[in-house]
Structure 1
Amino acid sequence: MFAYYLRLGWKSLRRHPALTGLIMLAVGLGVGVAMTLFSVHYTMSLDPIPHKSDQLYAVRIDSWSPEEPYNDERPEEPPWQLTYRDAMALLESDVPLRQTAMFKSVFSVNDDAGEIKPFFVVSRMAQRDFFGMFEVPFLYGGPWNASADVNPEQVVVLSKETNDKVFGGEDSVGQLLKLGDDYFTVTGVIDEWQPLIKYYDLNNSPMGDTEDLFMPISITPTMELSNDGNTNCWKREDINTYEDRLASECIWLQFWAELPTSEMRARYQDWLAAYVNEQKKLGRLERPMNNRLDDVNAWMEVNEVVPEDLSALLGLAFLFLAVCLFNAVGLLLARFLAKAPVVALRRAVGASKRAIFSQHLIEVALIGVGGGLVGILFALLGLAGLRGLVSYLDQVAVLNWTLSGIAIGIAVIATLLAGIYPTWRICRVAPSSQLKTQ
């Protein structure tokens, strides 16, 4: 019977194309607006490294002013970053499987031969463990040797884009790259790597591009590198030299630790507590102890990767969908009541209310599928508009096959709900009243 009802529904839709198209347009407009915002919300909420997100932890200690919290609106939260001295001290722990302190800096790529026009690049200063922790894929070579994390070595890992630009995409391992007036030996070239959310550093934008270069953080003091990220200080200090900057209470480094087991996490919490207590004895870290280990998803929540405004807009979008469905109810009611004589005739020759109800619901489902397809078109237009207005949404303002399926599912379910009342009304039409008028 399903195939029969499907055939009847299809014929009915073709019989009144204008009204059918109007209903699909109403449903599609609502679904399109809702899916535009739902797609962005959904993609930004995805776990960026699902098989490992509960093993990677952003490490924080409260080194802020004893007089006031770091964040007045969220006073329970310690600062987002660490001081240089604390980050270097935490690297002394042997508890984590892997760990890295990091920040980003800017360099100028130069070419002695003059074949390449100088350009600026952003480098991620980190430990060798960075690549293993965040599963960075390599195209050529690999990370620098572990010795470079202890003794400063002028080595560098290139992004694929930088390697293409400087070395024409060839295997550049062992080649020299001139940054400013210094030369760095290439140890590796990473393959395409662009997490949807740049979860390892959420300071400036959760959708920022990955860095152009990766270099050992150990060269920071000798090269007196600048920080291209956020730097926050809570007190006035005499900072006349780079050594003064490194010894200051300003926070500007991120720190991550890989802790695969609960036992390892407990041991690391104990290690952090011992370190903080030791610093308190030295007159530092005067605030109450507030050490935090936030896994990837918790870290994204702390940094509000999915802003409350977006959630509010998503709610409004679904309210707009409800308004569109309310209009669809009226159009469906008009469509079905126009068929009252035909329904009365079918009832008179033996069709049951259940059969009439089933047939009209299948017809409504077909309208829902059409509305979903129209909604996908509207959503694609809406997402293209968002990408044009906000460039950093390029990675998340997309509609994949999963989201397209969700769009059609929402359209069908919503249209079925909207079609229940019109279908119920047409089933209650008395055959005798319609046949007498004919």
Structure 2
Amino acid sequence: MLAYYFELALRSLRRNKALTALMVLAIALGIGASMTTLTVLHVLSGDPLPGRSNTLYAPQLDPRDMTGYRPRAEPLDQVTWIDGMNLLQAKRADRQALMTGGSVAIQPAQSALDPFYQTARYTTADFFPMFGVPFRYGHAWGASEDAASAAVVVISSKLNDKLFGGRDSTGRIMRLENHALRIIGVLGDWRPNPHFYDLNVKNYGADEGVYLPLSTSQDLHLAHLGGADCWGNGGNDATHTAPCVWLQFWVQLDTPAKAAAYRQFLVHYSQEQKTLGRFQRPPNVRLRNLMQWLDYERVVPGDVQLQSWLALGFLLVCLVNTVGLMLAKFLRRSAELGVRRALGASRRALFSQLLVEAGVVGLAGGLGGLLLAYLGLWLVRRQPADYAPLAHLDGAMLLMTLLLAVGASLLAGVLPAWRACRVTPGLQLKSN
């Protein structure tokens, strides 16, 4: 029966091509605009580490003085050097990593390449297993290299391609800020977005090429890159003793019970530091998992969210127009529908037939909307925003585009189909 209704729908749509084209265009414009913005929102609000995000947490402490104190205010997003090292050495989590960003000068051995700057990540050994970082060649450093401030480095696959043509570069020497470091690993394909572990550099699109032990970066006096929040007489000096937060600290806690215990540990630690005179404020801690952290930091740009709502509003306007066009088309066929009713067709059968016709319009509009969405995303990728290169339509969003188009057209067709199938057969036969 559906095949028969589908054939009738095609015949009906071909009879009035102009009206059909208007309905398809209305659906296509609404779907294209809404799916462009929804795809961008989907990409930007996605889970950067699926399967791991619910066990990764960002601890927060409040080591500030009493200036500007407000009860229940949010603590700072980063940690001081003293607190970071204390928490790291306490080893109360399954894994923990203390880190910060940087920018380093690379002096290539090849004469054909000029020296250039590369963004860097100064971190501790658990960074790689905790975040599930894949390796193309070699391996990461361990706790012993952290303790010894070893002159080792891990580089990204992109930097390896640039310096060594993609060959295995482990064991080679890289000159970095006039220091010789031995390459021990080359990363595989790893670029989580948002750049969750350090939102002080970029929310999206950060491409770090160099990773080296945090202790090594401090011994070599490598430049710190990122924000520093200071109080008292700290100025803006990100040093080991200044009252400034400038490092990121992440922990892995494999069960909710461990997370609850770690939060209690943070409270006790804050109380201890207050007793020692370092902290002045009452204990004020937070322990958010990765996705909660992204929500708290509001990493999705506000203009993207606003554009999504506007696009959905535009889709609603297009659907209202489609309802009017379908109503005009279906009521114009009142005579035909009346004859079918007189010959024994039920209202339910007529209603189903007209809904199938609406679905065909939606499918055609969805295909047109898909093309418009691809065009819209191509234009987004041409924007200067740091998230622009991420705007791609994946399989899930492609399927959602077609389902949304068909569903929207079926919804738009309910009222016109209901009105049309309630025609009185006698009146239609008499008028003919």
Instruction: Identify the match of residue 387 of structure 2 among 375, 393, 396.
Output: 393
Specify the alignment match of 1:144 in structure 2. 141
CA contact (8 A) 1:386 1:393 kept: no
Deviations along 1:269-305, whole A, 9 cap, x unmatched? 3432332223212322212211221111111111112
2:234 partner amino acid = E
1:406 partner amino acid = M
Question: Could you say if the C-alpha distance between residues 305 and 112 of structure 1 is closer, same or farther in structure 2, counting changes exceeding 3 Å?
Answer: closer
Aligned pairs, number:
432
More moved, 341-350 vs 78-87? 341-350
1:25 partner amino acid = L
Cα distance between partner residues in 1 of 2:286 and 2:314: 41
Instruction: Identify the match of residue 276 of structure 1 among 244, 262, 270.
Output: 270
CA contact (8 A) 2:60 2:79 kept: yes
Question: Could you say if the C-alpha distance between residues 134 and 111 of structure 1 is closer, same or farther in structure 2, counting changes exceeding 3 Å?
Answer: same
Instruction: Identify the match of residue 95 of structure 1 among 92, 95, 101.
Output: 92
Cα distance between partner residues in 2 of 1:279 and 1:347: 84
Report the TM-score when normalising by structure 2.
0.95
Specify the alignment match of 1:109 in structure 2. 106
Instruction: Identify the match of residue 204 of structure 2 among 204, 207, 224.
Output: 207
Tell me the percent identity.
40
Specify the alignment match of 2:181 in structure 1. 184
More moved, 186-195 vs 223-232? 223-232
Report the CA distance between 1:406 and its aligned residue: 0.9
Question: Could you say if the C-alpha distance between residues 75 and 377 of structure 1 is closer, same or farther in structure 2, counting changes exceeding 3 Å?
Answer: farther
Specify the alignment match of 1:21 in structure 2. 21
| Gap regions ≥5 residues in structure 1 | none
Specify the alignment match of 1:426 in structure 2. 420
Specify the alignment match of 1:417 in structure 2. 411
Specify the alignment match of 1:363 in structure 2. 357
Report the CA distance between 1:17 and its aligned residue: 2.1
Cα distance between partner residues in 1 of 2:264 and 2:345: 75
CA contact (8 A) 1:196 1:395 kept: no
Please list, as runs of the form range in 1=range in 2, the aligned pairs for 1:44-193 lying within 5 A after superposition.
Answer: 44-68=44-68, 76-112=73-109, 114-193=111-190
Report the CA distance between 1:110 and its aligned residue: 0.6
Deviations along 1:211-240, whole A, 9 cap, x unmatched? 10100001233222221111121233378x
Where 1:82 maps in the other structure, the secondary structure is coil
Question: Could you say if the C-alpha distance between residues 312 and 237 of structure 1 is closer, same or farther in structure 2, counting changes exceeding 3 Å?
Answer: closer
More moved, 85-94 vs 74-83? 74-83
CA contact (8 A) 1:347 1:353 kept: yes
CA contact (8 A) 2:59 2:288 kept: yes
Deviations along 1:48-100, whole A, 9 cap, x unmatched? 2231212111111112342225xx9x962111101112111111112211111
Cα distance between partner residues in 1 of 2:124 and 2:21: 60
Cα distance between partner residues in 2 of 1:107 and 1:219: 13
Cα distance between partner residues in 2 of 1:283 and 1:330: 72
Report the CA distance between 1:201 and its aligned residue: 1.5
Cα distance between partner residues in 2 of 1:238 and 1:6: 73
CA contact (8 A) 1:193 1:210 kept: no
Is 1:228 matched with 2:221? no
CA contact (8 A) 1:95 1:267 kept: no
Cα distance between partner residues in 2 of 1:287 and 1:376: 55
Is 1:265 matched with 2:253? no
Instruction: Identify the match of residue 246 of structure 2 among 242, 252, 258.
Output: 252
Deviations along 1:319-354, whole A, 9 cap, x unmatched? 211111111111111111222222222222222222
Cα distance between partner residues in 1 of 2:178 and 2:271: 43
Question: Could you say if the C-alpha distance between residues 113 and 376 of structure 1 is closer, same or farther in structure 2, counting changes exceeding 3 Å?
Answer: closer
1:167 partner amino acid = F
Where 2:89 maps in the other structure, the secondary structure is coil
Report the CA distance between 1:23 and its aligned residue: 0.2
Specify the alignment match of 1:5 in structure 2. 5
Question: Could you say if the C-alpha distance between residues 40 and 75 of structure 1 is closer, same or farther in structure 2, counting changes exceeding 3 Å?
Answer: farther
Report the CA distance between 1:307 and its aligned residue: 4.1
Cα distance between partner residues in 1 of 2:386 and 2:3: 47
CA contact (8 A) 1:207 1:395 kept: no
More moved, 305-314 vs 86-95? 305-314
Cα distance between partner residues in 1 of 2:54 and 2:82: 27
Is 1:404 matched with 2:398? yes
Report the TM-score when normalising by structure 1.
0.93
Question: Could you say if the C-alpha distance between residues 259 and 148 of structure 1 is closer, same or farther in structure 2, counting changes exceeding 3 Å?
Answer: same
